[in-house]
Amino acid sequence: MKIAVVGCGAVGSYYGARLCRAGQEVHFLLRSDFEAVRQNGVAIHSPAGNFTIHPRCARTPDEIGICDVVLIGLKTTANDQFQKLLPPLVGPHTAAVTLQNGLGNTEQLAQLFSPEQILSGLCFVCLNRVKPGVIHHLKYGTIVLGEFRRRAGPRTQKLAAIFQDAGVPCKVTDNLAQAQWEKLVWNIPFNGLGVAGVAGYEALVTQPSTLNPQPVLTTDKLLADPRWKQLLRDLMLEVIAAAGALGFEIPIAYAEEQIERTRTMAAYKASTLLDFELGRPLELESMFLEPLRRAQTTGVPVPRLAALCKVLQRLDQTH
Instruction: Report the catalytic residues.
Output: 183
> Please, where are the H alpha helices in the chain?
10-21, 34-40, 61-64, 82-85, 105-110, 154-165, 176-196, 201-206, 219-224, 226-245, 253-263, 271-277, 284, 290-296, 303-318
Please give the full DSSP string across 16-74, using - where no structure is assigned. Answer: HHHHHHTT-EEEEE-STTHHHHHHH-EEEE-TT--EEE--EEESSHHHH--EEEEEE--
Instruction: State the Cα angle at 110 between 290 and 108, rounded to 5°.
Output: 35
Contact status, residue 239 vs residue 184, Cβ threshold 8 Å:
yes
* DSSP code string of 242-262: HHHHTT----THHHHHHHHHH
Q: Name the 3-class secondary structure at 215.
A: coil
Nearest of 265, 305, 276 to residue 215 by alpha carbon? 276
User: Alpha-carbon distance 25 to 43, whole Å?
Assistant: 17
- What angle, 0 to 180 degrees and rounded to 10, lies between the N-to-C axes of helices 253-263 and 176-196? 60
CA-nearest of 119, 126, 155 to 140 is 126
Q: Does residue 158 sit in helix, strand or coil?
A: helix
